[in-house]
């Protein structure tokens, strides 16, 4: 846009001495030099403003705006059209926009940060979602929606960044990966943070699963543990995918075996007293008196005591207050947060989204 204005100014200066070129026909191919356009400063026949076309939009010439484009007005989204993309392997798309912000019914804006290159239809779906579902959710949380944290939009690649895999909807500009929703008061609804308020995450999950044909989040395939994938893929029979497990509290990865006994632990007899009694805690070891082959002796020294017989249920329960729980299937029922839980909030985000 700046280049266009600058070019326009220089063209205007030149026009003082040079006869003006004829106005560019609508069907002409895209100009490669911005200065070749008629200067903005010269009086031009007033063209009727295209409803729904954002100013500065560079819609391909000779193509009438789509119904979607006409409907996606500045009252709904700041989403200037961008040229079609024709990439390798079927990548790209037509009727593309750069979705910069969603405009709420009250005129407030929810930024898409960074702006997302998506098809008009996807932009429209995202705008409808933010306007109808996210804005009221933010209000219910005592704030306003300020921004969508865009993790990835158009990108020419295979599914889950696997080389040779089927083209991702990202490659068709038909997908958006969202990490969270930023509120005006600075809070962030981090959609995959197991410590974020469950109610808010659940509300978002229900709204996206109703609006998008594909929703992939934590627990779906291992590629979506730190963001939510949304797309509008069309499948036979109208099949939809909504795979997003709302984890809570503790990470699902926990040691399956008891940890090695720490050196500073109290003597086993004392520690085991209340659980198993001294009899089991110090089993008689008649073989200790016998000569042991060197190799076995070494291994026994290096390794902690063999795991106890499978009777961990009571022990695990007893220590649940101070230790992470063992591996569990996805638990969707609310549960009170244990006293000591490892924080995942400070975890740095990966440099690139995996899917
Ligand atoms: Zn994705």
Q: For the segment 310-341, what is each residue's pLDDT rounded down to a tens digit?
A: 444 444 444 444 444 333 444 444 444 444 44
How far is ligand 1, taken at its centre, from the CA of residue 66, in Å? 26
Question: Residue 221 corresponds to which tokens in the numbers above?
Answer: 């395939």
Whole-number Cα distances in Å, 47 to 44, 50, 80, 122: 8, 9, 19, 29
Q: Which residues are bridge partners to 98 per DSSP? A: 117
pLDDT digits (tens, 9 = 90+) for 127-182: 999 999 999 999 999 999 999 999 999 999 999 998 888 999 999 999 999 999 99
| Rounded distance from Cα 100 to ligand 1 centre (Å) | 18
User: Ligand 1: distance of its center to the CA of 314 in Å?
Assistant: 42
Ligand 1 centroid distance, CA of 166 (Å): 13
Task: Give long-range contacts, CB 8 A cutoff, 24+ apart: 306-314.
Answer: 307/257, 307/258, 308/258, 312/258, 314/275
Percent of the chain with pLDDT over 90: 50
Cα 337 to ligand 1 centre (Å): 31
Q: What is the pLDDT of residues 14-39, one digit of tens each?
A: 334 444 445 555 544 444 443 333 33
Taking the centre of ligand 1 as the mean of its atom positions, its distance from the CA of residue 227, in whole angstroms, is: 8
φ, ψ of residue 317 to 5 degrees: the values are -60, -45
179, exposed or middle or buried, with CB in 10 Å at 0-12, 13-18, 19+?
buried
Give 350 Cα–ligand 1 centroid separation in angstroms.
14
Average pLDDT, the chain: 72
Pick the more confident residue, 173 or 57: 173
- The residue with greater pLDDT, 108 or 297, is 108
**What is the Å distance from ligand 1's center to 322 Cα?**
37
Query: Would you mind telling me the total number of residues written for the chain in this entry?
Result: 355
pLDDT of residue 273 exceeding 80: no
Task: Using the mean position of ligand 1's atoms as its centre, give its distance from the Cα of residue 107 in Å.
Answer: 29
Q: Report whether pLDDT(97) > 80.
A: yes
Distance 83 CA to ligand 1 centre (A): 22
How remote is the CA of residue 148 from the centroid of ligand 1, in Å?
A: 15
Structure tokens at 69: 């484009």
Q: Measured between alpha carbons, how far is 145 from 138 in angstroms, rounded to an integer?
A: 5
Ligand 1: distance of its center to the CA of 159 in Å?
8
Distance 155 CA to ligand 1 centre (A): 10
What does the pLDDT average to over 112-121? 98
């Amino acid at each position: 846009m700046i280049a266009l204005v600058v070019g326009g100014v220089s063209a205007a200066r030149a026009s003082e001495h040079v006869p003006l070129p004829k106005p560019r026909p609508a069907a002409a191919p895209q100009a490669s030099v911005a200065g070749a356009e008629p200067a903005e400063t010269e009086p031009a026949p007033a063209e009727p403003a295209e409803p729904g076309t954002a100013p500065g939009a560079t819609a391909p010439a000779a193509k009438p705006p789509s119904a979607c484009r006409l409907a996606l007005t500045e009252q709904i989204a700041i989403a200037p059209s961008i040229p079609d993309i024709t990439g390798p392997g079927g990548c790209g798309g037509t009727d593309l926009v750069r979705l910069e912000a969603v405009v709420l019914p009250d005129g407030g804006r929810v930024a898409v940060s960074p702006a997302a290159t998506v098809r008009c239809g996807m932009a429209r779906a995202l705008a409808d979602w933010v306007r109808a579902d996210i804005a009221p959710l933010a209000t219910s949380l005592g704030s306003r929606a300020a921004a969508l944290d865009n993790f990835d939009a158009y990108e020419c690649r295979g599914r889950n960044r696997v080389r040779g895999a089927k083209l991702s909807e990202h490659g068709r500009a038909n997908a958006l990966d969202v990490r969270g929703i930023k509120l005006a008061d600075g809070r962030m609804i981090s959609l995959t943070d197991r410590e974020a308020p469950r109610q808010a995450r659940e509300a978002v999950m229900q709204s996206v699963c109703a609006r998008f044909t594909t929703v992939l989040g934590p627990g779906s395939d291992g590629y979506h543990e730190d963001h939510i994938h949304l797309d509008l893929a069309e499948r036979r029979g109208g099949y939809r995918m909504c795979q997003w497990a709302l984890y809570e509290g503790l990470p699902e990865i926990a040691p399956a075996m008891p940890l090695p006994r720490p050196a500073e632990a109290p003597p086993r007899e004392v520690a085991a007293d209340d659980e198993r009694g001294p009899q089991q805690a110090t089993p008689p070891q008649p073989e200790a008196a016998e000569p042991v082959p060197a190799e076995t002796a070494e291994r026994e020294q290096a390794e902690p005591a063999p795991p106890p017989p499978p009777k961990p249920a009571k022990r695990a329960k007893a220590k649940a207050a101070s230790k992470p729980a063992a591996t569990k299937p996805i638990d969707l029922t609310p549960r009170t947060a244990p006293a000591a839980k490892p924080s995942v909030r400070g975890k740095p985000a990966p440099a690139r989204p995996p899917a």
